[in-house]
Amino acid sequence: MKEAVLSKYRELFGKEASSAFFAPGRVNLIGEHTDYNGGHVFPCALTIGTYAAAGKNPDGVLRLYSMNFETLGVIEAPVADLVYDKKDDWANYPKGVIRTLKNHGYTVNEGMDIVYYGNIPNSSGLSSSASIEVLTAFIAGTLFGLDLDLVEISKLTQEAENRFIGVNCGIMDQFAIAMGKKDHAIFLDTATLDYEYAPIRLEGCKIVIACSNKKRGLGDSKYNERRQECEEALAALRKELPIRTLGDLTEEEFEANRHLIGDPVKERRAKHAVYENQRTIHAVQALKEGNLRLFGELMNASHVSLRDDYEVTGIELDTLVENSWKQEGVIGSRMTGAGFGGCTVSIVQEDQIDTFIRNVGEAYLSRIGYAADFYVVEIGDGPAVL
């Protein structure tokens, strides 16, 4: 991958890149749609992600090229005037990051030439967009000598996605990618950004990602609608409760006060946020105690809640998960990411992985009419100069 991006950079820009870089994708093991509700999440960085070759140019222009979208060619934008432009497609993500860095007083006073290549399945829910964002900030920090730590990178890249792209995402994706650590997941309190690394000991099991291949775009999905519903439920609860976020509530406190919301749909949305946060806390504790079975049961319960209370799964993800539950050697399985397509994450005994992929793949193709893709993944580190 490194040689491929360096070679393409040479071909396009007629010079050597300063360096090659990498930022991972991420998968969230449990804690879905909690990150903007002040709850806990439990993601890990992956060894698949986004590669780049980059160097400065004296022309004051960003020249951006993706080997995944070759037909779009080199996309150019002046560093001094970076604005969202629909025709620039994927390149709006790096443009938004540089614009956000500049807005915060970081000096990016020259142009950059960057070639990207990602081996994250596009629109899969493994955070290809956040991977590009974190990678771009990391590149800029390295090339321009900016005093940017990884937590700051995660905050600034989330802001870029919120304000420049217009997707009202929480901080989980960017944080998990920026702060990734090999063989560890990150137990993150999204309300405070307090975090701890928890070692992932899978005892003869592996993480298997199933990509539904149903394409979805977050910006035009119901993601922002779910966020709005939760904000309205929170506002209703706060009229009588001294809470800042839904993540402040236990299940018992929620049940005693849910009538305050006064709308059955918003009640279900808030119930998911509260219960999922508590599930995540219990799941991390189970892992610390070596109770992988309980961790898997909580993953399964997470999917049921995302299906029934939050209603973000859909036939594709439900087909993958419900068939995964039937397979021998499956510890737990759930949708991961925003939903409405994308991926599932399963913990599967190593000696059953081939059978799992065959059986779930056949059932999915039979019901949905097109194939899912499967990836056995490893947990990796955060961004790096290669």
**Which amino acid would we find at residue 365?**
L
Is 173 known to be catalytic? yes
Residue from 209, 132, 119 nearest 164 by CA: 132
Q: Of 113, 173, 189, 309, which is the active-site residue?
A: 173
Closest CA to 108 of 128, 90, 83, 82: 82
Q: Tell me, what DSSP letter sits at residue 252?
A: H
Q: Which of 154, 157, 143 is nearest to 114 (CA)?
A: 143
Residue 131, burial from CB neighbour count under 10 angstroms (0-12, 13-18, 19+)? buried
Task: Report residue 274 CA to chain centroid gap.
Answer: 20
Q: Quick one: which of 153, 183, 139 has its CA closest to 45? A: 183
DSSP annotation string for 130-164: HHHHHHHHHHHHHHTT----HHHHHHHHHHIIIII
Q: Kind and range of the H or E element at 373?
A: strand 373-377
Assigned token pair, 303 = 């999917």
Half-sphere exposure of 360 (CA within 13 A, CB side): 35
Residue 225, CB-side half-sphere exposure with 13 Å CA sphere: 9
Residues carrying an active site annotation: 173
